[in-house]
Amino acid sequence: MTEQIGKVTLNLSHYGGEDLYSDGKVEDELLEIVQSCAETEYQRVIEERASWPVLYHLSPLRENIVDWIPMKADAKVLEIGSGCGAITGALSRKAGEVVCVDLSKKRSMINAHRHSACENVTIHVGNFKDIEPDLPADFDYIFLIGVFEYGQSYMGKEKPFEEFLSIVLKHLKKGGRAVIAIENKYGLKYFAGCKEDHLGTWFSGIENYADGGVVRTFSRNGLEKIFAACGVKKYHFYYPYPDYKFMTTLYSDTYLPGRGELSNNMRYFDRDRLLLFDERYAFDGIVEDGLFSVFSNSYEVIIGDDFEVKYTRYSNDRAPEYRIRTEIRRDKKGSATVRKYPLCEEAKEHIREMPVAYQNLLERYKGGNLEINKCELCEEDGKIWDSFEFLEGRLLAELLDECLKKDDIEGFHALFKQYVERTGYHQEFPVADFDLTFGNIVVRGDTWSVIDYEWTFGKAMDVKELAFRAVYCYLLEDKKRDKLNLGRILEELGITETEADYYREQEKEFQGFVTGKNKAMSEILGLLKRRAIQPVSVPDRVQIYEDKGSGFSEEESYFVYELYPNDREVDLELKVGGDVETFRIDPSMEPCVVRIDALTFNGKEVPVKNKKTFYTNGKLLKQTQDFVFPAADPNLYVKTAALDRREENMLHIKMQVAKLPADVAEDIAAAAKKLI
């Protein structure tokens, strides 16, 4: 039995008539979006709705995890767990035939509607175990993107992940490849305060899923053990950064990150997080000690032959005409080259302009002490790209960082003086690379080479303008560089405060020029209003007690450490069993004032001035919902037995907690006239 949605075929032969997996109403919202909006409108919808599920399912950045993979035009692809089609479109553009499998009909309909023009896509709806026997064994690629961790759900056996992988690999043709993208249970972001992606709890993977459940992520060593059990001998690890969901950069064992590269860590779109330490500096140490493969946030594993692509970086967080992909390739002889590809039709002109920029910069710096990395435009089978030489050496930014780390300020300024002299050569020439930042210059002895010059304009620019931007960007990238005296830099360049303000405004305009009408991912994070919580700002841990008919017990109490928007506010959603008669919340361990902004039980307001349902050992300040607690053990009691109590209940309390010196709290309490 089949259904046709546009040119996409839904095969329902194994569909049981009921979706066993659903995210609820959000799937109806997604279906409405893909039915009423063109793909070009998704970015606008993402920004307007400011919703994590909408961003997660519809962002074009989701495709990055498969877009980089070289694939012949007639390749046959199997996508297991295709969901709402986040990567199906990319596979359809790259391959000759795409066969999808997904448990949910609603999700498969979303997938089909958003890719209704793709005549090479078939979606099988139903349980993989039921569909698998009917699948052929001639696929060039099999993709499990965010799927392998659910192996136990698919198989339900003693060794579900080994069984799952063994069955999947049977459907590869000889020489085919399987691609697995999955979180690393020991990814650095989880140590730093991000919750486990699937369970929404802290440290679950790190604690080896001590509380159980069917979802499992793995370390690199854990994955390798599974591969060995399945007889897989040929596999290659890649490292998507920040993670595989919204990958911007992909590393490999051949091309690992360098110090200072891993600074894009604040990507907590799905839920609030803690900030236990600065991941950037932790990654620097991890990189220096050769441990990146252990602590990478995600893995992408290629089972089968490797690719020449060893590194790729996406710049698709831009206006369409500037969206490109940069990759480093290394052939079997070890020779490396750099390529830049357009990511859409609109960006092809940008690629064609770079060889022109190369020739113009070459002419400008002829006779000077600044080399320009050679760029050639290549065309093959309807594709175009720019090819650059891969230059070994040290980035100027690294050398400057070393000076600051050693407090060698004069060494820093000596290098900066060289930068000004070399980049300012023939500054009256009507060509300028506006992006002459320290990270775009490779130093090899006395040879300085510009490796990236995509923002070259046909006009003359004063070197002090270029140098100011280089310093400005350098300081913004790392707060540890703040030890640099910007005043001295401005004085050396002869820049007034008025000019500096003008250059800062110009930088804002330039960033707007690059991103166009679209918001950058950092701005979308702001729209989602996720909170990064620093535990040092937490007023106190909140202790919870439950009276189930025999009084409160210290042994059976528990602490809550989450959801503190700032240093005073506490916002908690707490599950309450149907056998709990009185629920007690201790908001602090010290004298304090508590303002209750909201208190609900199963969505209904609990009046804090009605002692039949609520009482406290503090004093209520007149005409307010503020309570002062002169003792070091403040208690709030909710008499759930007197409320609309069910078998399972949800209590929500939002309050502000301000600690007070004991004598001040006592004076305020003495002035309060009403005791609850």
Tens digit of each residue's pLDDT (9 = 90 or more) over 640-660 = 999 999 999 999 999 999 888
pLDDT at 451: 97
pLDDT of residue 633: 87
CB 302 within 8 A of CB 177: yes
pLDDT for position 229:
97
116: left (phi over 0), alpha (psi -120 to 50) or beta: alpha
Please write the tens of the pLDDT for every residue from 215-242. Answer: 999 999 999 999 999 999 999 999 999 9
With CA atoms as reference, report the closest residue to 106 among 39, 42, 18: 18
Which residues does residue 653 pair with via DSSP β-bridges, in sequence order?
572, 599
Encode pLDDT of 10-54 as tens digits: 999 999 988 877 888 999 999 999 999 999 999 999 999 999 999
Span(s) in the chain for CATH 3.30.200: 320-389
Residues carrying CATH 3.40.50.150, the chain = 2-309
SS (H, E, C) 106-153: HHHHHHHHHCCCCCCEEEEECCHHHHHHHCCCCEEEEEEECCHHHHHH
What pLDDT, on a 0 to 100 scale, did the predictor assign at position 561? Answer: 63
Domain 2-309 in this protein, CATH class:
alpha beta
| Alpha carbon distance 309, 252 (integer Å) | 9
Percentage of the chain beyond pLDDT 90 is: 77
Q: Is residue 254 scored above 80 in pLDDT?
A: yes
Q: pLDDT tens, 169-178?
A: 999 999 999 9
Q: What is the DSSP-derived secondary structure letter of residue 296? A: -
Query: Model pTM?
Result: 0.81
**448 CB neighbour count, 10 Å cutoff:** 19
Rounded-to-integer distance, Cα 502 and Cα 209, Å: 54
- Top-confidence residue, 158 or 604: 604
Sign of CA dihedral 144, 147, 148, 152: negative
Q: How confident is the model at residue 674 (pLDDT cuts 50, 70, 90)?
A: very low
pLDDT tens per residue across span 135-150: 999 999 999 999 999 9
- Identify the band that residue 8 occupies on the pLDDT scale cut at 50, 70 and 90: very high
Residue 190 DSSP SS3: helix
Question: Which residues pair with residue 125 across a beta bridge?
Answer: 102
| Mean pLDDT of the chain, nearest integer | 93
Q: What is the pLDDT of residue 368?
A: 96
Label residues 630-648 b or e (16+ Cβ within 10 Å = b): beeebbbbbbbeebebeee
CA distance 480 to 667: 45
pLDDT band at 494 (very low <50, low <70, confident <90, very high): very high
| DSSP-derived 3-state class of residue 391 | coil
Structure confidence by residue, pLDDT tens digits, 102-114: 999 999 999 999 9
Task: Find the range with the poorest average confidence among 63-72, 155-164, 485-494.
Answer: 155-164
- φ/ψ (deg, to 5) at 8: -90, 135
> What is the pLDDT at residue 584?
96
Percent of the residues in the chain that have a pLDDT greater than 70, as a whole number: 97
Q: What is the pLDDT of residues 151-168, one digit of tens each?
A: 888 787 789 999 999 999
Protein fold of 394-523: Transferase(Phosphotransferase); domain 1 (1.10.510)
State yes or no: pLDDT of 576 exceeds 50: yes
Q: How far apart are CA 386 and CA 377, in angstroms?
A: 5
One of 3.40.50, 2.130.10, 3.30.200, 2.60.40 is the CATH number of 320-389, namely: 3.30.200
426-485 pLDDT, tens digit each: 999 999 999 999 999 999 999 999 999 999 999 999 999 999 999 999 998 888 898 899
Measured CA to CA in angstroms, residue 529 lies from 276, 518, 523, 567, 653 at distances of 19, 18, 10, 17, 19
CATH 1.10.510 domain span(s) along the chain: 394-523
| pLDDT value of residue 676 | 41
d(CA 67, CA 174): 23
* DSSP conformational letter for 196: P
638 — phi, psi (to 5°)?
A: -115, 120
